[in-house]
Structures are given as structure tokens and as C-alpha cells.
Amino acid sequence: MDQNNTYEQEIDLKDLMFAVLHKWKGILLVAIVFAILLGGVKAVMTYRDQKNEENILEAEENYEEELHAYETSKETLERELGNLQTDIENQQNYMEKSVLMNMSPYDIYEARADIFIKTDYEIMPGMVYQNVDYTDTILQTYQSVMTSVAFLSHIAESTGIDVQYLQELIKIERGSTVIGSTSKLTNLLTVKVKNSSKKDAEAVLKKLLDGIELLQANITANIGEHTVNTVNKSTGATVDLALADQQREKNNQLINLQQSLEEKQQALDDLEEPEKLTSASTATIKDGIKYGVLGGVLGGFMMVFFICVIFVMSDKMYSSKELRRRSGIKVLGIFPVSEKKSGMVNNLLNRLEGKIYSASAEEEAALIAANICNYANEVKKLLVTGTIDEKKIAEVTHLLADKLPGMELVSGSNMLKNVETIKALPTCDGVVLVEQAGVSTYGMMGQEIEKVRDLQKEMIGCVVFE
């Protein structure tokens, strides 16, 4: 792959994540420092404030005000919840037991009777003073008494319908007639009884008409003489769209009550009792811990952010995988930077990242030598160089020399700075680079590769320390 600076850098999120995780010690240290600083400062400030008499008095006043407001709100919400629960129970009980609410508006039977009430009142021609006409009073009395609880009680007992639900089924209207542009009430009362069955409607109507006989004697004795005649009776099925609207309204009322109950309950649940005043030491500890945790999180976040910025902006090689992707150079083998154990956490991170090294440097050197033999073709003289410490380059050269007896290996330091390495480059047939993750930069490696290819020398590959 030619190094013409056409590479567009891509950030591997996995590499970025492991670059952050490998710095866990630094992140933890910074987090602890920030936690101690922020928590300590806040603890000192809180302790001073708690010891200030003016602050103590102000805090006590604020607490009393908040407590009073809390108790008032709680009491109000609990009372409203109790009222709403009672209303919902009453509404549900009504919807369940009401005959009218459980009837189909499109299949109703209506039993009807027209009652004519006649009094002995007559207008006396020529007389200035006329007798008192009690006709309207008598008719209004029948209307009122026939729908009263006292009158309907005996009917309710015989039909098994509660009085309050029976009243909804009965309607008594007074007839009227239009004379010219005015409407005049007549002596006709129309009694209507609704029910879901024809039989039940007629049974209630019959009980009402039977009760009129008892009313007549009472009203005659208390108001005046009159006669009662039933002029028409009929029963038929009808559709009551007004009842459909009434049932829908009652259902909506129940839904609204339940929604209000949920809202009030949520408001009560969200209501928080103000915290009691604590001692100076307790408040100091609480604030110290709270701001200590906040400081730790802030410090850790800042450290992670700093590492991410360095990773993105840095030109240093992170891993052999990234080297292959960016430069296209073959990775001949990988040596660990240090043979010492780096700790359980770092070893675990290396395994998760896929950095699994050979058991020994000799075994890895044998693998590298085998790769060189496969890629080197007819190379007789091999230059081993790189941008890292000259001792590491010499160490790699020494390890490979015994395993490549048919090749002459020349060890050279950074060819960008060392004159001897530059002079040795034209005399060699191929080049092996030795670079180190976190030390070598892609800019310098690009210049090395460019010099090798300018002299038309074979770039065998790269040995990586990571």
C-alpha cells in the first residue's frame, strides 16, 4: 500500500474503549483525588454553615413553613381521595343496580295511560266574585304524590325495584293545548312507565293506577271534589336516544372520577415530606459523601474525556491491528513490551482485547523467522531497523540471526536520524521494521516506508512490541 497521505483515519471504538480501560489506574486515581477535594471542601463549608446561628434560625423557619405546607397538602389530598372513592363507589353501585341504566335504548317498552281529572268548578256568569278553582292544584298534587317516595314504596316492595330506581322509570306529564299563540294546560295527566320488558312495564303501570283510587279519596277530603277517569291505555316498544346519551354521560362521569382519583393518588405519592433538620456532624458527613461521589464521577469523566482526546489526536500506533489497517504492512510477529506480569486486571483486558502472546521470546522469534522466509523471496541481506530504542532493535536482530542462517542480518537504528542506517539501506535486499505501540508514530513510519520503496527495496513486514 503506497503511503500518499490519502488515508482517511477511522476511529475503532473497540480500540478506544480498551485504550480507556487500560488507563483504569489513572482514572481511579484522578477520581479519588477529585472525590477527596470536592467532598472535603463541601464538608468544610457545610460544617461552617451549620454552626452559624443565623443560618440555623433561617433553616428552622424554612423547615416549619415547608412542613406546614406539606401537612396541609397531604390532608387536602387525602380528603379529596376519600370523597372521590365514595363517589366512585356510589356511581358504580348506581350503574350496577339502576334498571334504567341497564336497559337498551333501542329496545324499550313503554306502558302509557291517559287520566282525565274533572272538578265541579263552573264559571258563574255576571258574578264579580267567582268560586276558587282548585283544578290546577289537584292536578299538580297528583303529579307530585304519584312520584313521591311514600307513594311508590308499596309499589317498590311488590316489584322488587328500589324506590330511587323506580322513580327513574316513571314520568307523569300534564297535557296542554294550543289556542292561538298561547298554550293552555288541560285536565289530562299522562302516566308513562319504561322497562326492558312489556310485562314489567304494564305491572308497574297497573300498580300506579290502583294507587290513584286511594289518592282520590285523600285529595278530595283535603282539596276538593273531582272525578278520575282512565281514558286510554297502551303499551309498545320504542327507541329512546336521550337515554343513550344519558347512559354515555354516566359512564363518562365514572371514567372522569377514576382519572381524578389516579391523579390525586399520584400527587399524594409525589408529595415529599421535608427533611428534618440534622446535626452539624450528620449534615457534614452527608454533604461530604454526596459531593465526594459527585467529585469522583466528575474526575473520572474528565480523565476518560482526556484519554479519548489524546487517542483521537495522537499519531502514535495503538496496536498491530491498527498498523495493518492503516499502512497495509504485514505484521510478522508481536513481542510483549515487558515480560513481567502486569496484574490480573491488565491481563484480563489483554485477553478480552485479543492480545495473546507466545510463551517465550524464542518461540515468537521462531514464528517471525518463518514468516520472513515465506515473504522474503530471494532476499540475502536483511536490514532490521525502526524508530524505537536501538537496544530493542538489536535484541530482535540477535534473536532472528540464529533462526535465519541463510540470510545476513544488519541491525540499524532510526534511518530518519542515523547516517549509518541510511548508508546500509542501498546494500540490503529487504527491510524489516521494528516498532512499538504507544511509541512509534505513523508519520515517521510512513517516511521509513517511503525511503525503502524509493530505493526499490522489498518491505518484508514489521515486528511489533505491544
If you write DSSP's letter for every residue of 399-421 in order, what string do you get? HHHTT-TTSEEEE---TTT-HHH
Please report the pLDDT score of residue 165 as a whole number: 93
Query: Among candidates 413, 432, 409, which has minimal Cα distance to 423?
Result: 413
Average pLDDT of span 269-281 = 76
Contacts of 288 (CB under 8 A, 6+ apart): 39, 40, 42, 43, 46
Please report the pLDDT score of residue 8 as a whole number: 53
Please report the pLDDT score of residue 125 as a whole number: 55
Would you list the DSSP string of 243-266? Answer: HHHHHHHHHHHHHHHHHHHHHHHH
Please report the pLDDT score of residue 188 as a whole number: 93
Residue scoring higher pLDDT (182 or 233): 233
Using only C-alpha atoms, what is the Rg of the chain? 51
List the grid coordinates of 115: 287520566
Q: Is the predicted pLDDT of residue 353 greater than 70, yes or no?
A: no
Q: Is the predicted pLDDT of residue 271 greater than 80, yes or no?
A: yes
Q: Is the predicted pLDDT of residue 420 greater than 60, yes or no?
A: yes
Q: Is the predicted pLDDT of residue 6 greater than 60, yes or no?
A: no
Would you list the DSSP string of 221-242? Answer: HHT--EEEEEEEEEEEEE--HH
- What is the chain's percent helix, strand, coil content, to nearest 5? 55, 15, 25
Distance CA 437, CA 31 (A): 27
Would you list the DSSP string of 277-338? Answer: P--HHHHHHHHHHHHHHHHHHHHHHHHHHHHHHHHHH--B---HHHHHHHH---EEEEE-S-
Q: Is the predicted pLDDT of residue 413 greater than 50, yes or no?
A: yes
Average pLDDT of span 93-102 = 93
Q: Is the predicted pLDDT of residue 123 greater than 70, yes or no?
A: no
Query: What is the residue type of 73?
Result: S
Query: Among candidates 445, 357, 361, which has minimal Cα distance to 395?
Result: 361
Q: Is the predicted pLDDT of residue 3 greater than 50, yes or no?
A: no
**Structure confidence at residue 122 as a pLDDT band (50, 70, 90):** low
Residue scoring higher pLDDT (168 or 276): 168
- Mean confidence (pLDDT) of the chain: 85
**Structure confidence at residue 128 as a pLDDT band (50, 70, 90):** very low
Distances from the Cα of 24 to the Cαs of 31, 50, 92, 301, 338, in angstroms? 10, 38, 63, 12, 19
5: left (phi over 0), alpha (psi -120 to 50) or beta: left
Beta-bridge partners for 193:
111, 170
**Structure confidence at residue 323 as a pLDDT band (50, 70, 90):** confident
Distances from the Cα of 127 to the Cαs of 122, 123, 132, 135, 224, in angstroms? 12, 9, 13, 20, 21
CB 88: neighbour CB atoms within 10 A?
16
Least confident piece of the model among 104-108, 223-227, 262-266, 281-285? 281-285
pLDDT in tens, 63-83: 888 889 999 999 999 999 999
Distance CA 412, CA 316 (A): 21
Q: Is the predicted pLDDT of residue 329 greater than 60, yes or no?
A: yes
Average pLDDT of span 193-199 = 93
Q: What share of the chain in percent tops pLDDT 70?
A: 88
Q: Is the predicted pLDDT of residue 378 greater than 50, yes or no?
A: yes
Distance CA 376, CA 264 (A): 82
User: Is 432 strand, coil or helix?
Assistant: strand
**Structure confidence at residue 273 as a pLDDT band (50, 70, 90):** confident
* Reported pTM: 0.50
pLDDT in tens, 241-265: 999 999 999 999 999 999 999 999 9
Residue scoring higher pLDDT (152 or 20): 152
Q: Is the predicted pLDDT of residue 4 greater than 80, yes or no?
A: no
**Structure confidence at residue 1 as a pLDDT band (50, 70, 90):** very low
Query: Among candidates 194, 190, 191, 238, which has minimal Cα distance to 98?
Result: 194
List the grid coordinates of 352: 478480552
